[in-house]
């Protein structure tokens, strides 16, 4: 059983873009989308703010006997289309603002993929790297109790996000089932298989990224074997994306994490690198070496002349400051919000295709949905069945978004937002708000 913090273990340091610009970007995008859809201003206003934001402060007894008080959040953006859904993040940069933006992104993500969920996000402001396993467990159980009043299988279903993993999800389920004296399997996704988790969940986000990347290549008559790829971030998302693209025959020439970047023009052996990291306690790339590999910085990786660039670390990596130096043919957003609005405009003017996060990295929540369905029905599917469903749903969403983009002469991000916002707005409209 994995006890490492592995949803994204090797995240980068905090990006330059302040969170306040992220919230402004998110609201602007909604405003532009609403204008293009000629949305009722009242419905736009409903969607501009979360339905519920919970801030919790809770104590944790540390191993040395001292007490520390932590602040956590759970923000529920829109429940119009179904129970709220979204991950839990442990990171020093977690804030109410960041959690709010990410909750809104989850609403759009679930809607683009046509999942019967609304959007939420949670997090605890902390540096999990300085905790022992026992401290991490106590923090998780306390946080779970603090947000328990608003979560549940038909209310709000948490999942892993940055620095949380299947072990954290297992503690959450156990805490909920103890206090409610009932099974809480369907209350959390991203669980271990032994605890009602789904086959294929741990690699789902990367698999989904590769599905949309391959669909993009197909739409442009490009051969995967002739396609070069650079992946920023080698945590759960970056690593599974690099591996899936490598297995699909693409040439992954550059990868990076917090410790270093690796570059090999003939392509890196991602399977061998992943295997090497499995035997390391810290899972960092710095100790890996093989003939023909040179070291590069994260900045160099982002500015490489590759076909596909997959930023799969934190938000705000490609900004107004470096967007004009991007030389990739297309960017596939593995992380949530890695390209700022300012960068988006620069990239669009330069003809760089951007597959937006709400489509590209939705593989995780797609398999979370499959996990939730399996838990509710008490009947489980094998890996091939899960992968077929993931492949089918991601490919369909890509086709829907690409079709709209071509038809209306707009970017893939604009098309994805129009699709998502119109679906959520329709649900809000049918519900009405007079009662």
**Which among 190, 234, 203 is positioned nearest to 375, based on CA atoms?**
190
Among 76, 166, 189, 228, the residue binding ligand GLU under the rule CB under 6 A is 189
Bridge partners for 60 per DSSP = 68
Question: Closer to ligand GLU at the Cβ: 161 or 303?
Answer: 161
d(CA 162, CA 220): 33
Dmax (CA) of the chain: 68
Among 365, 401, 402, 405, binds ligand GLU (CB under 6 A): 365
Instruction: Collect all residues with Cβ–Cβ distance below 8 Å to 317 and sequence separation of at least 6.
Output: 12, 15, 232, 302, 311, 335, 338, 339
Interface with ligand GLU by CB under 6 A: which range of 37-45, 83-91, 176-184, 242-250?
A: 83-91
> How is residue 5 annotated by DSSP?
-
Q: How many residues interact with ligand GLU (rule CB under 6 A)?
A: 11
Among the residue ranges 59-67, 84-92, 224-232, 291-299, the one whose residues contact ligand GLU (CB under 6 A): 84-92
Give the whole-angstrom CA distance, residue 299 versus residue 327: 12
Closest distance between ligand GLU and the C-beta of residue 99, in Å? 12
- DSSP assignment of 239-287 equals HHHHHHHHHTT-EEEEEE-SS-EEE-TT---HHHHHHHHHT-SS--GGG
Q: What are the φ/ψ torsions at residue 52 (nearest 5 degrees)?
A: -150, 135
Rounded Cα–Cα distance for residues 196 and 169 (Å): 11
C-beta of 305: minimal distance to ligand GLU in Å?
Answer: 29
Which residue stretch of 10-18, 33-41, 207-215, 364-372 sits at the interface with ligand GLU (rule: CB under 6 A)?
Answer: 364-372
Q: Terminal CA-to-CA distance of the chain, rounded, Å?
A: 49
418 contributes a contact to ligand GLU by CB under 6 A: no
Picking from 198, 268, 265, 217, the residue whose alpha carbon sits closest to that of residue 238 is: 268
Where does this chain touch ligand GLU (CB under 6 A) — which range of 243-251, 360-368, 396-404, 413-421? 360-368
Q: Which of residues 316 and 364 has its CB atom nearest to ligand GLU in the complex?
A: 364
Task: Give catalytic status of residue 121 as yes or no.
Answer: yes
Measure the CA–CA gap between 34 and 36, rounded to whole angstroms. Answer: 5
Of 19-27, 80-88, 271-279, 379-387, the window that binds ligand GLU (rule: CB under 6 A) is: 80-88
CA dist 292 and 264 (Å) reads: 6
The pattern of x and - marking residues 267 through 306 that bind ligand GLU according to CB under 6 A reads: ----------------------------------------
By the rule CB under 6 A, 368 interacts with ligand GLU: yes
Single out the residue of 19, 86, 283, 337 in contact with ligand GLU (rule: CB under 6 A). Answer: 86
> Which of 336, 391, 411, 414 touches ligand GLU by CB under 6 A?
336
- Please select the residue that binds ligand GLU; options are 25, 135, 137, 161, rule is CB under 6 A: 161
Of 121, 125, 191, 207, the active-site residue reads 121
Catalytically annotated residues: 121
Sites of contact with ligand GLU (CB under 6 A): 85-87, 159, 161, 189-190, 336, 364-365, 368
């Amino acid at each position: 059983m994995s006890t490492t913090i592995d949803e994204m273990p090797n995240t980068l340091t905090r990006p330059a873009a302040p969170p306040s610009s992220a919230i402004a970007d998110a609201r602007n995008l909604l405003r532009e989308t609403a204008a293009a859809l000629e949305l009722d201003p009242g419905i736009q206003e409903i969607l501009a703010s979360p339905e519920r934001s919970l801030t919790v402060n809770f104590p944790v007894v540390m191993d040395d006997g001292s007490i520390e008080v932590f602040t956590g959040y759970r923000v529920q953006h829109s429940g119009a289309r179904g129970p709220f859904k979204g991950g839990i993040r442990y990171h020093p940069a977690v804030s109410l603002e960041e959690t709010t933006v990410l909750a809104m992104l989850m609403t759009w993500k679930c809607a683009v993929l046509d999942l019967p969920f609304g959007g939420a996000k949670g997090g605890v402001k902390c540096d999990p790297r300085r905790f022992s396993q026992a401290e991490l467990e106590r923090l998780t159980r306390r946080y779970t109790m603090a947000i328990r009043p608003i979560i549940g299988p038909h209310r709000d279903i948490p999942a892993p996000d940055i620095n949380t993993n299947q072990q954290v999800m297992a503690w959450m389920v156990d805490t909920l089932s103890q206090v409610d004296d009932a099974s809480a399997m369907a209350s959390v996704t991203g669980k271990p298989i032994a605890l009602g988790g789904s086959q294929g969940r741990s690699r789902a986000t990367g698999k989904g990224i590769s599905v949309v990347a391959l669909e993009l290549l197909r739409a442009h008559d490009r051969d995967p074997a002739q396609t070069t790829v650079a992946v920023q971030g080698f945590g759960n998302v970056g690593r599974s994306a690099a591996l899936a693209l490598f297995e699909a025959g693409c040439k992954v020439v550059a990868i990076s994490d917090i410790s270093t970047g690796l570059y090999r023009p003939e392509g890196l052996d991602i399977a061998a690198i992943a295997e090497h990291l499995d035997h390391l306690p810290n899972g960092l790339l710095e100790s890996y070496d093989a003939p023909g590999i040179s070291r590069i910085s994260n900045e160099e990786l982002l500015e490489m002349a590759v076909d596909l660039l997959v930023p799969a670390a934190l938000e705000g990596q490609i900004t107004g400051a470096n967007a004009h130096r991007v030389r990739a043919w297309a960017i596939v957003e593995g992380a949530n919000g890695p390209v700022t609005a300012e960068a988006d405009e620069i990239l669009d003017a330069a003809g760089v295709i951007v597959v937006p996060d709400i489509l590209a990295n939705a593989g995780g929540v797609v398999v979370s949905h499959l996990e939730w369905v399996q838990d509710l029905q008490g009947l489980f599917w094998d890996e091939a069945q899960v992968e077929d469903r993931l492949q089918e749903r991601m490919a369909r969403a890509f086709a829907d978004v690409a079709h709209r983009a071509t038809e209306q002469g707009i970017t893939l991000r604009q098309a994805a937002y129009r699709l998502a916002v119109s679906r959520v707005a329709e649900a809000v409209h049918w519900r009405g708000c007079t009662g």
